[in-house]
Every structure is written in structure tokens, then in C-alpha cells.
């Protein structure tokens, strides 16, 4: 968010006028603003509310909690033991087929899984490796044979496993992995081989110590033809956890976070596995080496296989939203109790959340967290509909993958930002390990680059947006294209001359109240946010249009010149998705007082996005400077209005002391402050308080 303290450059008369008119606008809508914490909490629990409640009860158990200060070995063994507890409690098998003891509940599975982050992010991710990656690869890429043969031992944790996709030389570029799986028809075996050091599988959970098998992604070669990346079930260690012949590896050792997980590297030297260990749902090799697939296009086959594993991104989006909520619950609770400086009183210090800057730091991030939570629930519903088969067309799967690639980057980046700001807002107390903020910040750091680097994921989103944009003109004739060019030119002139209501020109000295009225309107916010996405994509598409007539090298260079713009356009699209989800959630709120408070919070999110990108709106003529000024002024007033409701808004997330486990969020700070205030009150009452030197000198001057 922009620090509005810098707006002091505006002349005093104008600023006062703006703020007065903004205040009048807010006053009209104030009513009896209040928060029904219980009903809002029910809404925030989402579609799988019962599963989420059950999961939160489960993670209250201290046996599942992280213990700061353990050695690396102790952390790893504790996390493995916690996984066994989850198995005993049947907490991790919802997504698996009923035929092997699962519930085939995909949405419920992710809902319960992401709540493990409240206990310990290491537990969440190690469980995710075992059942969400290793197990899911067998489930979604294998057939009934693989389900019956491998899943029972995976589900029971008899066989801990690794998900061996990433290579040192190829991270996000999975299609280019160098590990090979060459079929030998004489022995009816695949030969798994790592041809050079850069092809070692890297950053694999469970590979460093505990894993006994791995789902290995390799280039399938048969009869001299490379059919692209496929997945294979490969045993890697014996019962004593010694590497099997031909398999080697290294432990990644101490990491910046998530040290309960034994990440490591694997490499293969002509390791032979049975032909049937190919997870062959989308591609199979017969005994004689003949390759067949139900998907003829190699590219489409590859993306279909990877798309079945999208649940990792879904769960990271949810975990990031959960941790953001926890961090803000800690910081707001502490901010409501911690006192500092006595600018407004001769005796009592101010609660730090009463300071405007403190509100500006936390309340906009609270609005973002609400948007993240509402967007995530819609994301979960979409995921469940695809994986349950209720809506499982190619288009549905593409939409899901695009949604995952859009939301996961925003939520994981936001979580790091929120954790850092919450830490700073708690001062030195935020840096103490027992208050959890620094530990959570360290553990979530890796979320922005695993399950897809955020920048690369947004590039995928941008490509989809460009494809959708281009599809409008696939069958267009020259006349249609000419009309489009004219419309674009006219639109630019339309915005630039200030004829649109929102694009009030610099020469328009109309009422700021009318400016605020426009900005408050949901359709106006939607128009501003949508227009930015469409304009950015249109501009990029026009710049990339010559690529079709260029050499491959020149076309790649042209595309590269627009990469940053592509990623920014995708980010704008993802922000719009979150805003739309918040808007739909707001429409469902029935309690009048709660709806008023959430309306303000919704405006803080929407106008916060506009303020964040204000330069774009000014440069492109979508807002005048005066209306840009009104955005910040209105935000300041909204945040002030939300301040009395901040505690209720974080309490509605539903995380109790057993989840937060932060000493400063337990009420101990209020006890300390009350003790100090009582001490000074009693001292003043007794007349034993020393005389302040300043007061004494002032008295003498009189």
C-alpha cells in the first residue's frame, strides 16, 4: 500500500476539503456497523465447513505441534512420527478411492490438509509430499492395477515416498527433464538413467532419509522414439533405508525453513524396473515396445498429465490464506493491547492500533486476507468439481489450471508480505520464536517457488489470456480487425479526454463527494479493475502481433521483451479474480451490521488495488489526479472506520490460542499494561509520584 503520509505535498485547503467530503460520504453509510463474529466465522469456514472444524480440532493436539530448538535429526523424526498419527486418525485419506479405504472427497481432502499448517508447516508439506504428490501421482496417473498394488502401502505410510520431478538443471521446465526411461523389450523392463549431474532429481521431500520409493518423471523412450515425460514407480531404498543398487543420492541438509522434511537429491544408473511400473493412464508400452496413448498430441498429453497434479497449488493457496489469517490475528490482538507514547493523554499511553500508520499497515492486509479466503473457497469448489467428474471437460481442466497458476502466486507472495509486516508491527516481540511469526515466515518462504515458481506461473496465466484474446479474431475478416483498431483508438481518446465518468479530467473541479460516490460503486471498481487487465493484454497482443512473421529466434526475443508486461497483466487478472470472489461473498452476508463492515473492507481491498496501481490509471487517463487523490483520502477514512472492528474481523477467522500459540496473542500484554497503568494510578492517587522536571520548570515560569 502507498503510505498516504506523503500526501502532505497537497495544499492544506484542498486536503481538508477532500477529507471532509469523504468523511461525509462514509457517514451516510455508517448505520449500526458491527460484526456478528459467529455468522461471519461460519461463512469463512467455506464449503467444507465441517471438515475444516474437524481438522482444526485435530491440530490443537500438542503432539502435532512444532517444537522450536530441536536438532535437524529430532525435527525430522518428530515430523515422521506425526505423519503416523495422522494415519491412525484417518485424517489424510479422503481423496483416495473407496476401493482402497478412501472417501473420494477431493475438496474435503484439501480443506483438511491445508489446516495442518496451523500445527506445523513441516507437517503439512511432508504430508503433502507423501499423499498429495507421491500418492496422488499413483492415483491420478496410474490405473486400477497401480491403485491396488501401491496405494495401500502409501496410505498406511508403510512406504514413504518422494515425488521425483524437479531436476537441478530443469526446475519449472518439466518437459525438458533429462532423466530417461528406455524400454528394453527383451527383459520387458524400463531402464531409468541419469545421464549427467544436471539431471539429478533435486529438492525432493522424503528423498534425503525416509523415502523407500519415488514416482520418477522421465523421458519415455521406446523403439528409438522419445514420447515425452511420463511417470514411473521406482523403489529406491530397502527396509533398512539403504539405497538399492544403481540408486544414489544426497541429503539437502539444513534449509531456511521446513526442516522437519528430509529434502534430498536422487540419481539413477541404469536402474531396471518392470514394464508395469509405468503409470500408464495416459500412455502405455506393450510387451513388444509399441507405444499407445488415448491422447494423440504429445503436448496435450504432457499438460494433461501435469494437470492431474494441480492439487499441490490448490493446497498452497489455502495454506497461505490460513497463515495470513493467523499472522494478522496475532498482530491485531497485540496491537489492541500494546501501549506506546501518551500523545493524547497526560497519564495513559495510546494503544498502538489507534495510530493511523499502524492501521494502514494491518487493515489493508486484513482486507487482502479476506479476499484470499473467499477466492480460495471458490477455487476449492472448482477443483472438486473437476476431480469428482462433475465438471471435467478439457475446458474445465484448463480453467482450473489457469486459476491455480493465478491464485497461488498472489496468496503465497501476500503471505510473506503479511508475515513480515505483522512481525514488524509487533516490534521485538514479533522476533521472538515463541510468537511464531518468524518461524512461519521462514517456513513459508519456499512456497513462492515450489509447486511452480510464481513468476513462471503468472506467465502461464498471461499466455492463456493472450490465447483467449486472440481467439476473438481467429475467424475475423479484415473489416472486423479494422473496426477493432478503430474502437481501440476511440477508447484511448475517450479515456484521454475525460469523457468517462471515472476519468474525470484535471480541469473538472466538481465535488470530491461525487468522485467518492463513483469509487464506492461496485460496478465502478469492477470497471476500473477489468479495464486495466483488458487494456494491458490488448497492448501486449498488439506488440506481439509481428511474431508470427518472424524467425523463431526473433519471435522469442520479441516475446521476451514483453515478459515483464505479461506477468504484470496476469497479476492484475489474479487480483481481479480475488476482488470478484470477495464481491460474491459480500452478497451472501445477511446480517446488516456485518455487511456494512465487510462492505468497507471490500472497498479497502478494491480501492487499495487501484491505489497500488494509481500510476497506471493516471498515465492511461482512467483517473484524474483529483480522483486519484480521492482514492487515498477515502481509503484513510475507511481504515479509520474499520479500526474498531479489527479484532472481530480477525476473531472471525476462528483460530484459537491452541492454533496461534503466540504468547503475545494470549492476553498477557493486556495484563502487563493494566498492571503498569494501575501502578502509576495508585502512585498518583497516593501523592507519592515524583514531579516531572518539565512540569516543574513550567510551573516556575508561570
Conformation bin of residue 131: beta by default, left when phi > 0, alpha when psi is -120 to 50: alpha
- Beta bridge partners of residue 189, listed in sequence order: 184, 274
Give the pLDDT score at 694: 78
* 273 and 250 housed in the same domain: yes
DSSP single-letter state for residue 62: G
CATH of the domain at 430: 1.20.140.10
Task: Give domain status of residue 293, yes or no.
Answer: yes
Give the pLDDT score at 183: 98
Among the three residues 289, 309, 329, which one is the final residue of a domain in this structure?
309
Give the pLDDT score at 381: 96
- The Cα–Cα gap between 456 and 612 comes to 22
Helix (H) or strand (E) holding 250: strand 247-251
Cβ 267 vs Cβ 199: under 8 Å: yes
Give the pLDDT score at 490: 41
Place of cell 503471505: 415
Among the three residues 290, 309, 328, which one is the final residue of a domain in this structure?
309
Domain containing 622 equals: 4-30+312-651
Query: Average pLDDT of each block of 10 consecutive residues along the chain (702 residues)?
Result: 32 47 58 90 97 96 94 97 96 92 95 96 97 96 97 97 94 91 98 97 96 98 97 97 97 96 98 98 97 93 86 95 98 92 75 91 98 97 93 89 95 98 96 96 96 92 88 54 45 36 38 65 92 92 87 89 93 96 96 96 97 95 88 94 97 97 92 85 85 78 73
Give the pLDDT score at 509: 37
Task: Give domain status of residue 667, yes or no.
Answer: no
Among the three residues 245, 280, 309, which one is the final residue of a domain in this structure?
309
Q: Going by DSSP bridges, is the β-strand pair 291-292/284-285 parallel, antiparallel, or unpaired?
A: antiparallel
* 285 and 373 housed in the same domain: no
CATH of the domain at 264: 2.40.110.10
Q: Kindly list the distances between the CA atom of residue 582 and the CA atoms of 455, 578, 587, 590, 602, in Å, as whole numbers in the listed order.
A: 24, 6, 9, 15, 7
The answer for residues whose C-beta is within 8 angstroms of residue 430's C-beta and 6 or more apart is 331, 422, 423, 424, 437, 438, 664
Give the pLDDT score at 28: 57
Q: How many domains, in total, are found in the chain?
A: 2
Task: Give domain status of residue 44, yes or no.
Answer: no
* 61 and 24 housed in the same domain: no
Amino acid at each position: 500500500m502507498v503510505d498516504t503520509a506523503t500526501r502532505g505535498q497537497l495544499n492544506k485547503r484542498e486536503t481538508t476539503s477532500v477529507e471532509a467530503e469523504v468523511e461525509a460520504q462514509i457517514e451516510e453509510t455508517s448505520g449500526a456497523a458491527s460484526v456478528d463474529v459467529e455468522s461471519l466465522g461460519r461463512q469463512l469456514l467455506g464449503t467444507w465447513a465441517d471438515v475444516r472444524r474437524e481438522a482444526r480440532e485435530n491440530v490443537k493436539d500438542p503432539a502435532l505441534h512444532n517444537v522450536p530448538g530441536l536438532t535437524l535429526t529430532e525435527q525430522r523424526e518428530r515430523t515422521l512420527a506425526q505423519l503416523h498419527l495422522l494415519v491412525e486418525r484417518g485424517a489424510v485419506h479422503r481423496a483416495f478411492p473407496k476401493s482402497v479405504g478412501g472417501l473420494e472427497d477431493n475438496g474435503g481432502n484439501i480443506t483438511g490438509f491445508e489446516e495442518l499448517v496451523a500445527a506445523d508447516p513441516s507437517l503439512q508439506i511432508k504430508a503433502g509430499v507423501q499423499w498429495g504428490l507421491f500418492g496422488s501421482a499413483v492415483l491420478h496417473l496410474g490405473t486400477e492395477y497401480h491403485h491396488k498394488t501401491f496405494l495401500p502401502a502409501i496410505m498406511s505410510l508403510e512406504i514413504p515416498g518422494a515425488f521425483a520431478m524437479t531436476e537441478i538443471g530443469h526446475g519449472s521446465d518439466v518437459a525438458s527433464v533429462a532423466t530417461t526411461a528406455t524400454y528394453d523389450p527383451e527383459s520387458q523392463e524400463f531402464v531409468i538413467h541419469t545421464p549427467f549431474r544436471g539431471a539429478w532429481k533435486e529438492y525432493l521431500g522424503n528423498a534425503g532419509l525416509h523415502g523407500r520409493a519415488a514416482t520418477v518423471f522421465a523421458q519415455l523412450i521406446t523403439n528409438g522414439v522419445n514420447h515425452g515425460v511420463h511417470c514411473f514407480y521406482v523403489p529406491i531404498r530397502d527396509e533398512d533405508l539403504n539405497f538399492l543398487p544403481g540408486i544414489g543420492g544426497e541429503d539437502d541438509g539444513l534449509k531456511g525453513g521446513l526442516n522437519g522434511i528430509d529434502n534430498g537429491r536422487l540419481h539413477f544408473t541404469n536402474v531396471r524396473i518392470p514394464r508395469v511400473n509405468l503409470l500408464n493412464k495416459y500412455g502405455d508400452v506393450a510387451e513388444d515396445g509399441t507405444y499407445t496413448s488415448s491422447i494423440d498430441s504429445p503436448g496435450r498429453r504432457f499438460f494433461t498429465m501435469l494437470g492431474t497434479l494441480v492439487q499441490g497449488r490448490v493446497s498452497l493457496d489455502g495454506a497461505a490464506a490460513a497463515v495470513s489469517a493467523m499472522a494478522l490475528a496475532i498482530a491485531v490482538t497485540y496491537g489492541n493491547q500494546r501501549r506506546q507514547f501518551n500523545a493524547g493523554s497526560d497519564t495513559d499511553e495510546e494503544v498502538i492500533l489507534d495510530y493511523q500508520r499502524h492501521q494502514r499497515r494491518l487493515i489493508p492486509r486484513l482486507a487482502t486476507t479476506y479476499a484470499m479466503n473467499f477466492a480460495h473457497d471458490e477455487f476449492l469448489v472448482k477443483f472438486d468439481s473437476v476431480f469428482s467428474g462433475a465438471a471435467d471437460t478439457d475446458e474445465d481442466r484448463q480453467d482450473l489450471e489457469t486459476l491455480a497458476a493465478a491464485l497461488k502466486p498472489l496468496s503465497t507472495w501476500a503471505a510473506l508480505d503479511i508475515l513480515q509486516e505483522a512481525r514488524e508491527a509487533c516490534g521485538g516481540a514479533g522476533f521472538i520464536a515463541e510468537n511464531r511469526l518468524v518461524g512461519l515466515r521462514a517456513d513459508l518462504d519456499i512456497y513462492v517457488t515450489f509447486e511452480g515458481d510464481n513468476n513462471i506461473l503468472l506467465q502461464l496465466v498471461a499466455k492463456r489470456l493472450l490465447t483467449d484474446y486472440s481467439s476473438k479474431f481467429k475467424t475475423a475478416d479484415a473489416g472486423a480487425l479494422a473496426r477493432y483498431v478503430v474502437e481501440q483508438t476511440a477508447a484511448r481518446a475517450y479515456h484521454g479526454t475525460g469523457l468517462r465518468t471515472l476519468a474525470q479530467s484535471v480541469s473538472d473541479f466538481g465535488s470530491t463527494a461525487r468522485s467518492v460516490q463513483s469509487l464506492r460503486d461496485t460496478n465502478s471498481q469492477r470497471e476500473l479493475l477489468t479495464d486495466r487487465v483488458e487494456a494491458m493484454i490488448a497492448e501486449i497482443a498488439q506488440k506481439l502481433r509481428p511474431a508470427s512473421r518472424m524467425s523463431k529466434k526473433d519471435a522469442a526475443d520479441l516475446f521476451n521483451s514483453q515478459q515483464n508486461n505479461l506477468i504484470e497483466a496476469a497479476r492484475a487478472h489474479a487480483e481481479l479474480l480475488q476482488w470478484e470472489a470477495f464481491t460474491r461473498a459480500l452478497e451472501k452476508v445477511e446480517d446488516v451490521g456485518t455487511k456494512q463492515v465487510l462492505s468497507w473492507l471490500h472497498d479497502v481491498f478494491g480501492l487499495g488495488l487501484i491505489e497500488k496501481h494509481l500510476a497506471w490509471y493516471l498515465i492511461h487517463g482512467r483517473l484524474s489526479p483529483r480522483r486519484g487523490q480521492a482514492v487515498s483520502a477515502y481509503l484513510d477514512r475507511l481504515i479509520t472506520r474499520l479500526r474498531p472492528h479489527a479484532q472481530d474481523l480477525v476473531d472471525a477467522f476462528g483460530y484459537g490460542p491452541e492454533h496461534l500459540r503466540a504468547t503475545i496473542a494470549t492476553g498477557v500484554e493486556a495484563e502487563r499494561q493494566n498492571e503498569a497503568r494501575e501502578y502509576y494510578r495508585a502512585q498518583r492517587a497516593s501523592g507519592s509520584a515524583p514531579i516531572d522536571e518539565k512540569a516543574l520548570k513550567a510551573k516556575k515560569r508561570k
